[in-house]
Amino acid sequence: MREGGGSGTAGGLLPAHIGKTAVPLNQPELYGLGTPALTEVGGAGLLPQVARAFEAMATAARDEGIAIAIASGYRSFERQLAIWNAKAEGKRPLLDRDGTAIDPASLDPQQLMEAILLWSALPGTSRHHWGTDLDVFDCSRITKADLQLVPAEYQQTGPCGALHDWLEAHAHEYGFFFPYQAGLSGVSAEPWHLSYAPLSVPMLAEFDSHDLALVLEQAPLALKAQVLPRLDALVRHYVHFIAPPGPAAHPNS
């Protein structure tokens, strides 16, 4: 289950000096810092160009009986940090690849980091930081309160199955693609996660592991001793290893 909602801060978890290092960050917004100019769509924040593309896509889907709604849009570094730390501290559910609950106390720190990364992005690496990515669902068939963001909801028999079929056929016509697909990405498949390629592709090209390290070194990040030595490898696997833009490679099943 992926984390939805929440665009704000995490109650002041982030020290004020983060992002204001001796070597200033080139593009702090890539890491969820700063205050991007967002347009609100259904309670979620998106960059204006993304919001316009989404509205056009949603209108086309509505004409075919599909009600696309947004479960999550922009998410700040602070919000992602709160999610990460809560999972590390056993305050939020921790799931294995099959969605089965794991007892954090049964894992050593390295295993705990790897378990969190199955379903939650390392703070500073979430594509939701960019305002280009969103999690969607069919609000005519399931409520946001009942939505779990698990693959079964997006299979043929699930409440969002028809939505996913429609998106596989048409999302690319509006600039969107599925960055997380089975076998094509470091992150587990997320049939609910769309990315707006005209903006997210160039943003990914600008992502800098060195700048991310500057941010994480100063952040109150749980498991920092496990994360920092492996940061370059984690960025390669979880940030840069994504499915290519265009129609989804794998049909819904």
CA gap 150, 161 in Å, rounded: 12
Number of domains in the chain: 1
- Tell whether the torsion through CA atoms of 184, 96, 176 and 142 is positive or negative: positive
Tell whether 21 is covered by a domain.
no
Residue 60 is part of which domain span? 28-240
Residue 13 located in a structural domain: no
Question: What's this model's pTM, rounded to 2 decimal places?
Answer: 0.89
Each residue's pLDDT expressed in tens, for the chain with a length of 253 residues: 556 544 443 334 555 456 444 457 889 999 999 889 999 999 999 999 999 999 999 999 999 999 999 999 999 999 999 999 999 999 999 988 777 889 999 999 999 999 999 889 999 999 999 999 999 999 999 999 999 998 999 999 999 999 999 999 999 999 999 999 999 999 989 999 999 999 999 999 999 999 999 999 999 999 999 999 999 999 999 999 999 998 876 544 4
245 domain residue, yes or no: no
> H-helix or E-strand containing 138?
strand 133-138
Residue 23 in domain: no
DSSP 121: P
Which CATH number covers residue 176?
Answer: 3.30.1380.10
**Structural element, H or E, at residue 69:** strand 68-72
Q: What is the DSSP string of 1-51?
A: -------S--SS-S-TTTT--SS--S-GGGGT-S----EEETTEEE-HHHH
Domain annotation covers residue 6? no
Neighbours of 169 (CB within 10 A): 13
Quick one: pLDDT at residue 100? 85
Structural domain contains residue 5: no
Contact 77, 14 (CB under 8 A): yes
DSSP 204-242: HHH--HHHHHHHHHHS--TTHHHHGGGHHHHHIIIII--
pLDDT digits (tens, 9 = 90+) for 20-55: 444 578 899 999 998 899 999 999 999 999 999 999
